[in-house]
Structure 1
């Protein structure tokens, strides 16, 4: 099956819907040197399509780590669970920033499996987030508004 290039119009729609954030790790494209990608939540290889309801805005690293996977091992129970789906799930129900505002913490098995599989707390991103916290551009607006 040949893949068609995602148009700039669709890319802009996906980016706007995501507020310019990677829909997995919540990095902001605004502060990155590499343009973010359009990711297929359900990979083409698994029957996904180029429709808006299957596209997510993703940083290069999250997209590369996710690849064509939809499942991953949850590190505590060592069970395979679905990866986070930005089209069907709410980010704040699966993830929260740790007290340092740098480390991403999984609130659910899906959150923990996604953090592990996409290496969302690798050393390099922790350093970037710490620098962003120091200049008050991390965490993104809305990420700290949990009320429980």
Structure 2
């Protein structure tokens, strides 16, 4: 995806989230080299089959985005269960099957 398009998505989503991180709710900035810089976060990581579609992005501060890496948190499992209308166990089984049970799910970080 072109850099200019990613920049416009990042700014639009930051405004929609009131410049708050989706994980820690810290007020973010648009300043480079700052742990509280607003970054695009893949809700479903690309390693797990996520896409660069705009509806797979949220805004997270740089610190949270780095800490999350490509882990699927329990809150993501719960959200997908609602969206897909599946039991949580079925969503977890889908991830395990898709990724040969090599990845792990862990609880979301406390705010």
Q: How high is the TM-score relative to the length of structure 2?
A: 0.59
Q: In the TM superposition, what are the counterparts of 1:37-116 in structure 2 within 5 Å?
A: 37-71=39-73, 82-84=74-76, 113-115=107-109
Q: Which has the higher helix share?
A: 2
Structure 1: give runs of 5+ residues left out of the alignment.
Answer: 72-81, 90-111, 121-148
Deviation at 1:113, TM superposition (A): 2.3
Q: Secondary structure at the match of 1:21?
A: coil
Find the counterpart in structure 1 of residue 90 from structure 2: none
C-alpha distance in 2 between matches for 1:45 and 1:7: 19
C-alpha distance in 2 between matches for 1:66 and 1:4: 24
Q: Secondary structure at the match of 2:50?
A: coil
Deviations 1:100-131 (A, max 9, x none): xxxxxxxxxxxx92125xxx5xxxxxxxxxxx
Cα-Cα RMSD: 3.1
Q: Secondary structure at the match of 1:29?
A: coil
Deviation at 1:25, TM superposition (A): 0.4
Higher relative contact order (CA 8 A, sep 6+): 2
- Contact kept? 1:14, 1:52, Cα under 8 Å: no
